[in-house]
Amino acid sequence: MLANLERSLAAELLDLYGLVAQFLLSTEATLVYYNPASLDCSWSVLWRRHLTAHPQIVWQLSYPQPELYDRINGGGLLVLACLSEDSSSISQLENLATSLNHLRTSVRLLIEVAAFDEESLASRLLSFCLRRSILQVELYFRNTNHSPWNLYSYHPFPNFELVKRNISSGNKVEIFENKLVDLRGHRLRVMPDLSPPNTFFYRDERDENQVAGYLWDFMDTFAGRLNATLRMVRPKFRAGVAPESSYMLQYTAQGLIDVGLTTTLITRRNLWAMHQYTYPILISSWCTMLPVERPLKTPDLFNRILCPALAVILLLVILITWLAFGHLNCLLLLRNSRMARIVPRLLALLLLTTSSSQLLSLLISPPYQERITSFEDLLRGDQRILGMRSEFYDFDGAFRARYAGIFYLIDDPDELYDLRNHFNTTWGYTMAYIKWLVINTQQRHFAKPVFRWAKDLCFIDFMPTSIVVAPDSIYWEALKDFSLAADRAGLLKHWVRKSFYDMVKAGKMSIKDYSELVTLEPLNVADLQLVWRICGAAIAAATGIFLMELLFFYVNVFLNSL
């Protein structure tokens, strides 16, 4: 391909074209040719004949095109820009940067300046690219005096540093290097939301303020991977007035912080700011935490031994057997035999031993109450969910109309947190999956779990959780790659569980067993309610029969005396 190019082109341009061609072969980028001043750039010869395998946009307007984002459908973007040599080059670059909103993390920018080589102009243009969060940029000057061609780039961290390289066949030059591989100790400005388990303050052994929480661990590991450090910016907004994310969106947009450490969900309400949210770092859900089903009470266990249906069947069998032996002539010979006298006693012994062994097994390891598996079960039962009134009205209208009876709504969040954190089993609770991981970690120190995570009683099954960054943040792609790697390694759930022990260390939670130990006790009178009822019913029936016999006898005596 290179052998067929115009012989009049400089050899250095051919070398640069070879580098760009190699880059294009490994990507599916869209090419944009930006030439607002309609200059005679060197690339005008190349792109028309040899760069036609990719989608292309020719752009020769002198004003910004902010709708460019809607015309690009993924796959990256390679912009070949031709700028003037005078002061208008900055305004042309400004229009280009404005048009690349929401595309700057995926753009590769190659700038040709129609002027002689001048390091001061290269420094001004590239420093402007850094301020507008365009990292992958290369710049060269179109020389007409056959002097050596230089390719300019920059190192952004810890301070702006111009990088100058010579383009020639003898030098190995790499374009569009990843500038976030090493941040050289650069300090990332992060603002924690101070909402456990996300982030929280505590004092260490040296009485110094420290920050912990799973979001802090996430960001600290990310910074270490890029050879950066964290600088905590203390929140200045008042808690509880508005969501933390709304304040952090303002701080990041104004350039006061780089990352806002708070969990956010992209909903219709905040869709306008979706470009300030990172790729989801954790997929959560909003479900119900229910008390673990309790063992059946001792009086109810007797119903498992002899239910009313079985008792009726046994009585019918006894009655039919008695009638058969008393009235069938063929069975008269068997009635007085030894076998006939032994078999009923053996059957009675078998029934008694089976019932007693089953009763002992139920008393030692009693079965649990029927498991709640749907909201319909909650409607039929007496278990209720304690929730916030403001959250309840975020549910679907049809759901609220049908299942309003299963909720007990309050307005004070501190009351709900206090009951939930002390494992009050009077209520069930609405809870995010992230918080459940912390609660479940605490339950590992109990003799037995007190609450369970009800996956069948979810209000929102899929909740992508993100953190806040600046618009067109240079860290967006790096955070996305790190989030995917951390999730595959299981680090995110590990950090969430670890946050419980961090809160214990900070004195915000304690390792305490809130489960109730069940001790075996001897049976008492109240436990034999079913037995007393059966005995009472049998005595009442016998008394009734006896009274009927007396009534029949005295009625006959009375009638005979007339």
Q: What is the pLDDT of residues 71-93, one digit of tens each?
A: 776 667 888 898 988 778 889 99
Would you give the distance in Å from CA 110 to the centre of its chain?
Answer: 39
Higher pLDDT, 308 or 192: 192
pLDDT tier, 2 (very low <50, low <70, confident <90, very high otherwise): very low
Inter-CA distances, 83 with 121, 136, 267, 526, Å = 11, 17, 41, 94
pLDDT tier, 26 (very low <50, low <70, confident <90, very high otherwise): low
For residue 240, is pLDDT > 70?
Answer: no
Higher pLDDT, 479 or 553: 479
Inter-CA distances, 502 with 125, 208, 259, 490, 527, Å = 47, 15, 22, 18, 46
The percent of residues above 90 in pLDDT, for the chain, comes to 31
Q: Kindly state the average pLDDT of the residues 239-266.
A: 83
For residue 14, is pLDDT > 80?
Answer: no
Q: Which residues of 443-479 are buried (b: 16+ CB within 10 A; e: fewer)?
A: beebeeebbbbbeebbbeeebebbbbbbbbbbbbebb
Q: Kindly state the average pLDDT of the residues 225-253.
A: 82
CATH says 2-166 is which class? alpha beta
pLDDT tier, 523 (very low <50, low <70, confident <90, very high otherwise): confident
Q: Kindly state the average pLDDT of the residues 22-30.
A: 73
For residue 312, is pLDDT > 80?
Answer: no
> What element of type H or E holds 188?
strand 187-192
Closest CA relative to residue 355, chosen from 410, 313, 311, 413: 311
pLDDT tier, 554 (very low <50, low <70, confident <90, very high otherwise): confident
**pLDDT computed for residue 239 by the predictor:** 61
Q: Kindly state the average pLDDT of the residues 493-511.
A: 91
Most confident of 44-48, 143-147, 290-294: 290-294
Number of helices (H) and strands (E) in the chain: give both, helices first. 19, 18
Quote the pTM value: 0.79
Q: Kindly state the average pLDDT of the residues 166-194.
A: 84
Rounded CA gap, 102 and 122, in Å? 25
Would you give the distance in Å from CA 431 to the centre of its chain?
Answer: 12
Instruction: Work out the end-to-end distance of the chain between its first and last CA atoms, rounded to an integer number of angstroms.
Output: 137
Q: Kindly state the average pLDDT of the residues 441-461.
A: 92
**pLDDT computed for residue 243 by the predictor:** 66
Q: Please, which residues have CB within 8 angstroms of residue 196's CB and are 6 or more apart in sequence?
A: 213, 499, 503, 508
Inter-CA distances, 443 with 195, 289, 423, 439, 440, Å = 21, 13, 10, 6, 5
> Is the preceding omega at residue 158 within 30 degrees of 0, hence cis?
yes
**pLDDT computed for residue 217 by the predictor:** 95
For residue 23, is pLDDT > 90?
Answer: no
Rounded CA gap, 124 and 547, in Å? 116
**pLDDT computed for residue 144 by the predictor:** 56
Rounded CA gap, 115 and 140, in Å? 9
pLDDT tier, 6 (very low <50, low <70, confident <90, very high otherwise): very low
H helices of 39-146, in order, are 43-50, 68-71, 88-99, 119-131
pLDDT tier, 46 (very low <50, low <70, confident <90, very high otherwise): low
Report yes or no: 369 and 293 within 8 Å, Cβ to Cβ: yes
Higher pLDDT, 353 or 24: 353
**What CATH architecture applies to the domain 187-279?**
3-Layer(aba) Sandwich (3.40)
**pLDDT computed for residue 325 by the predictor:** 62
Question: What's the chain's average pLDDT?
Answer: 83
Least confident residue range of 53-57, 131-135, 161-165, 411-415: 53-57
pLDDT tier, 8 (very low <50, low <70, confident <90, very high otherwise): very low
Return the sign of the alpha-carbon dihedral for residues 168, 172, 177, 179.
negative
**pLDDT computed for residue 534 by the predictor:** 77
Hey, how many other C-beta atoms are within 10 angstroms of the C-beta on 343? 12
Angle at 499 between CA 285 and CA 392, to 5 degrees: 30
Return the sign of the alpha-carbon dihedral for residues 77, 80, 81, 85.
positive
Least confident residue range of 118-127, 193-202, 300-309, 439-448: 300-309
